[in-house]
C-alpha cells in the first residue's frame, strides 16, 4: 500500500500553536541550589563542621566562636529552643517538673525525664540572673515589704519580698531560716542595691524586726510606716495581688530538697515576675517595661536562644 502523505500544516494551525506555547519548557536554571550554612547567632557564613552529636551535625562559627547545630536547639541539646522555653514558662507559672515532662511527651512526642527538665531549670535560671541582674529599674520612692512563711524539707522558712509601689517591680526577694532584724535589714540592702537609690517611704507590717532595719541601711531620711493592714487601699490591694502570685512560687519550691536550690528558684521567680510575666494591672506590660528597662530578651524562649550557643 502506498504510504500516507503527511497533511500540510495550515496557517490556522500555526496561529493556534503560537497562541498556546508548549506546556513543557526549559528554564534557564531548573535545579535547586543548596542553601549555605550560616551561623544562627551572628549570621556569618564562615562556618566549619564540628563533629556529630546524637546524629545531628554540629558547626562552629569562625567569626563569633559559637557552636550550633542545624536543629533549632541549644548546643549539645536535642530539645528545641521553643520547647525548653515553654517548659521554663510553665514551671515558673506553677507546674511541677513532672507535669512539664508529661506535657513535652504528650504534645511534642519528646520523652524527656524529669531530671532533664530540672537541669534546664538550673542552667537557664542562672543564665537569666547573669543577664538581667545588672539592669537597673527606675522606681518610685515608696516601697512595700512583706514576709511569707514557706514550708519545705519538713522545716519552716521565710521568704522576704520588697516591691515598688508604682511599677510593681520586685526589687529583692530571698529565703531565710530565721525571721529577725538581721534578715529584714538584708532585704532593705538588697533592694537599695538593685534600685541604685534609697526610698523616701517604706511600708511594712508591724513585725518587730522591721523597727530597726529601716534606719540602719537607709538613714533617718526614709520614713517607715508600720500598719496592719498596710497603709492605704492601694498598698493593701497591691500586697494582696502579689500574694496571689506567691502561690505559684510556693508550688515550685516545695519539691526541692536543698536550701541552695530553693533559694535559686525563688530568685528565678523574681526575674520571671519582673521580666517575663505580663500584669493585668499594668495593661499587659511587665514591671520591667514600666520601670523603663530595655531587656535583651522578653521571655524564656528568647533567653534560651540568646544564651544557648555560648560554649
Q: What is the pLDDT along the chain (311 residues), one digit of tens a residue?
A: 555 555 666 667 666 656 655 555 555 554 555 567 888 778 888 888 888 876 677 888 888 888 777 677 787 788 999 999 999 999 998 888 999 999 999 999 999 999 999 999 999 999 999 999 999 999 999 998 888 888 888 888 888 889 999 999 999 998 999 888 888 889 989 999 999 999 998 888 766 556 555 655 666 677 877 765 545 555 556 666 666 666 666 766 766 778 999 899 999 999 999 999 998 888 999 999 999 999 999 999 999 988 875 44
Residues 162 and 278 in one domain: yes
Q: Let me know if residue 149 belongs to a domain.
A: yes
In a shared domain, residues 179 and 267 = yes
Condensed to tens digits (0 to 9), the pLDDT of residues 254-300 reads: 667 789 998 999 999 999 999 999 988 889 999 999 999 999 999 99
The rounded distance, in Å, linking the Cα atoms of 36 and 51 is 18
d(CA 58, CA 51): 5
CATH number of the domain bearing residue 249: 3.30.420.10
Query: From edge to edge, which strands make up the β-sheet containing 155-164?
Result: 170-176, 155-164, 142-152, 201-204, 223-226
Answer yes or no: do 177 and 158 share one domain.
yes
- Which cell is 21 given? 506555547
Determine, yes or no, domain membership for 111. yes
Dist. CA 65–CA 56, nearest whole Å: 19
Percent helix, strand, coil in the chain, to 5, is: 40, 15, 40
Domain count of the chain?
Answer: 3
Q: How far apart are CA 230 and CA 205, in angstroms?
A: 6
Q: Do the domain assignments include residue 187?
A: yes
* Residues 192 and 255 reside in one and the same domain: yes
Instruction: Give residue 87's domain range.
Output: 79-134
- Residue 278 domain flag: yes
Amino acid at each position: 500500500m502506498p504510504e500516507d502523505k503527511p497533511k500540510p500544516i495550515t496557517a490556522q494551525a500555526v496561529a493556534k500553536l503560537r497562541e498556546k506555547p508548549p506546556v513543557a519548557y526549559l528554564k534557564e536554571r531548573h535545579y535547586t541550589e543548596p542553601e549555605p550554612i550560616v551561623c544562627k547567632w551572628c549570621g556569618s557564613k564562615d562556618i566549619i563542621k564540628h563533629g556529630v552529636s546524637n546524629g545531628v551535625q554540629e558547626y562552629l562559627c569562625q567569626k563569633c566562636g559559637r557552636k550550633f547545630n542545624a536543629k533549632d536547639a541549644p548546643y549539645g541539646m536535642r530539645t528545641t529552643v521553643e520547647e525548653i522555653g515553654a517548659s521554663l514558662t510553665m514551671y515558673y507559672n506553677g507546674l511541677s517538673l513532672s507535669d512539664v515532662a508529661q506535657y513535652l511527651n504528650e504534645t511534642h512526642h519528646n520523652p524527656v525525664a524529669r531530671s532533664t527538665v530540672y537541669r534546664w531549670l538550673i542552667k537557664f535560671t542562672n543564665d537569666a540572673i547573669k543577664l538581667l541582674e545588672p539592669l537597673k529599674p527606675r522606681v518610685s520612692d515608696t516601697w512595700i515589704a512583706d514576709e511569707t512563711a514557706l514550708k519545705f524539707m519538713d522545716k519552716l522558712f521565710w521568704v522576704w519580698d520588697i516591691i515598688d509601689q508604682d511599677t510593681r517591680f520586685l526589687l529583692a526577694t530571698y529565703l531565710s531560716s530565721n525571721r529577725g532584724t538581721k534578715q529584714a535589714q538584708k532585704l532593705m540592702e538588697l533592694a537599695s542595691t538593685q534600685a541604685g537609690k534609697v526610698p523616701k517611704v517604706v511600708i511594712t507590717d508591724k513585725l518587730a524586726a522591721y523597727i530597726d532595719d529601716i534606719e540602719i541601711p537607709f538613714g533617718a531620711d526614709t520614713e517607715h510606716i508600720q500598719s496592719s493592714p498596710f497603709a492605704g487601699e492601694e498598698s493593701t490591694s497591691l500586697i494582696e495581688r502579689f500574694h496571689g502570685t506567691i502561690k505559684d512560687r510556693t508550688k515550685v519550691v516545695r519539691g526541692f530538697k536543698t536550701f541552695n536550690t530553693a533559694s535559686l528558684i525563688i530568685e528565678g521567680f523574681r526575674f520571671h515576675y519582673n521580666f517575663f510575666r505580663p500584669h493585668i494591672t499594668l495593661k499587659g506590660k511587665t514591671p520591667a517595661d514600666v520601670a523603663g528597662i530595655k531587656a535583651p530578651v522578653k521571655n524564656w524562649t528568647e533567653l534560651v536562644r540568646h544564651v544557648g550557643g555560648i560554649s
